[in-house]
Amino acid sequence: MHEPLILRGGHLLDPVTGRDEVADIVVADGVIAERAPTGARILEIAGCLVVPGLIDLHVHLREPGGEENETIASGSRAAARGGFTTVVAMPNTKPSHDTAETVAFVKRRGEEAGLTRVLPSGAITLERKGKVLTDMAALKAAGAVAFTDDGSTVQDDAVMEAALREAARLGLPLMDHAQDNLVERQGGVMHEGAMSRKFGYPGIPSSAEERIIRRDIELAAKTGARLHIQHVTAAEGAAAIREARSRGLPVTGELTPHHLALCDEDIDPANADFKMNPPLRSRDDRTALIKACLDGTLSCFATDHAPHSADKKARGFLKGPFGLVGLETAIGLTWSELVEKGLLTPRDWLVRWTVEPARILGLPAPTLQAGAPADLAVLDITRPWTVDRAALVSRSKNTPFHGRVLRGRAVVTVCAGRLTWEDGARR
């Protein structure tokens, strides 16, 4: 077992139990303990916030097949630095998560890394081509906790309906990258609007998102499946989800830190780190996303951590790949944009990183209650820090937030009783 710990003097915040007080917390034998064993290591954390470990529903770990960008081990280390104790690995690897063997491989590699719980997703269709369903039951048996073709969209309505029916039968959520593939294939690289016209870049209209979201919602209503819309970006898409939830449908959506913190007016066209899919949309869209977060329409955060090596991003905005790293800046961005500005309470912010992602996956919510698995993070929410791409522990450094001053970061992370991060030192 791992070294027992006493975290002394921190402010405990636990939405599950309602605990909100300054107190010590003990970690022993992999769980939150009531008493400290002899010889426990003491960590003085006065002034810090102690919270259950964060959950990220949407992470690209690139292994197998993209190890030059990230590995499961390096991505797990970035997750630990970011305060995460559970991440869901996306299926757009080579090979994709379309067989039980690949799903089992990803789960095993996560266990070997031992820094965060790596939960594999299963692909909806073979090779994520949107044509033929995978053996979804076999993927679940191998460890898949949800189904998605993330990075691609199942365009065929009949295939999507069949997938939703099977996901409902298996009791797992189906998560969708909701964009019209036909629109994306036209070479769009950013939001279609005033800024794309200014730069002379081909755009991706927000209607590409809205059409698929509305299609998915009606199919979810027909099949009874739990539907989760990934990385919602546009006002129209958020409105569709709000309408679905008002009908009582089991439809959820996520907000990424980069779509919360940026819009297309922030894009530097010479910097491909601002290129992401779905793209940064208009200032009005960003305002609508914040509203949707505050009213619970977008009930959780997720990073869409998407590492790419420097040589790939150096191809420029038109030819470089979509995506940015997000695990190590997620706390700072969401805390700075919402809690520091008085829009969310610390508790409501935490619910969106813990209770809601767990509920969407059908898992117990992490808690600081005695006897629970010792998954927790200690957050410094008082001192500002500056994003430095050179300091990122992700194998890739593609962040548009280099040089940005944030408030809120993990200084200690514990997963299953193991100290996985401490004051920026790799463990």
Sketch the domain layout of the chain as residue ranges: 5-49+371-426, 53-361
The topology under which CATH files domain 5-49+371-426 is: Urease, subunit C; domain 1 (2.30.40)
For residue 221, which of 167, 171, 164 has the smallest C-alpha distance? 164
* 34-43, 111-120, 231-240, 338-347: range with lowest mean pLDDT: 34-43
pLDDT score of 225: 98
Calculate mean pLDDT across residues 90-114.
98
Q: Is the pLDDT of residue 90 over 60?
A: yes
Q: How confident is the model at residue 185 (pLDDT cuts 50, 70, 90)?
A: low
pLDDT score of 186: 74
The pLDDT tens digits for 198-242 are 999 999 999 999 999 999 999 999 999 999 999 999 999 999 999
The pLDDT tens digits for 24-45 are 999 999 999 999 899 999 999 9
Rounded Cα distance between 82 and 76, Å, is: 10
pLDDT score of 424: 46
- Token pair listed for 111: 């266990």
The pLDDT tens digits for 354-375 are 999 999 999 999 999 999 999 9
Going from the C-alpha of 182 to that of each of 164, 188, 207, 216, the distances in angstroms are: 22, 11, 12, 16
- Catalytic residue of the set 56, 304, 375, 380: 304
pLDDT score of 1: 64
DSSP string, 358-407: HHHHT-PPP--STTSB--EEEEEEEEEEE--GGG--SS----TTTT-EEE
Q: Is the pLDDT of residue 396 over 60?
A: yes
The pLDDT tens digits for 374-393 are 999 999 999 999 999 999 99
pLDDT score of 343: 98
Q: How confident is the model at residue 423 (pLDDT cuts 50, 70, 90)?
A: confident
The pLDDT tens digits for 138-181 are 999 999 999 999 999 999 999 999 999 999 999 999 999 999 87
pLDDT score of 16: 98
Give me the CATH code for the 53-361 domain, please. Answer: 3.20.20.140
* 67-76, 184-193, 247-256, 309-318: range with lowest mean pLDDT: 184-193
Q: Is the pLDDT of residue 425 over 90?
A: no
In this chain, the answer to whether the domains covering 5-49+371-426 and 53-361 adopt an identical fold is no
Going from the C-alpha of 166 to that of each of 198, 219, 222, the distances in angstroms are: 45, 12, 13
Question: Cis ω on the peptide bond leading into residue 278 (within 30° of 0)?
Answer: yes
304 is an active site residue: yes
Question: How many percent of the chain have pLDDT more than 90?
Answer: 96
Rg from Cα positions in the chain? 20
Question: How many percent of the chain have pLDDT more than 70?
Answer: 98
pLDDT score of 184: 67
Q: Is the pLDDT of residue 426 over 60?
A: no
Q: How confident is the model at residue 187 (pLDDT cuts 50, 70, 90)?
A: confident
The pLDDT tens digits for 263-320 are 999 999 999 999 999 999 999 999 999 999 999 999 999 999 999 999 999 999 999 9
The sign of the dihedral angle between the CA atoms of 95, 101, 103, 108 is: negative
Is the distance from CB of 34 to CB of 368 less than 8 angstroms?
Answer: no
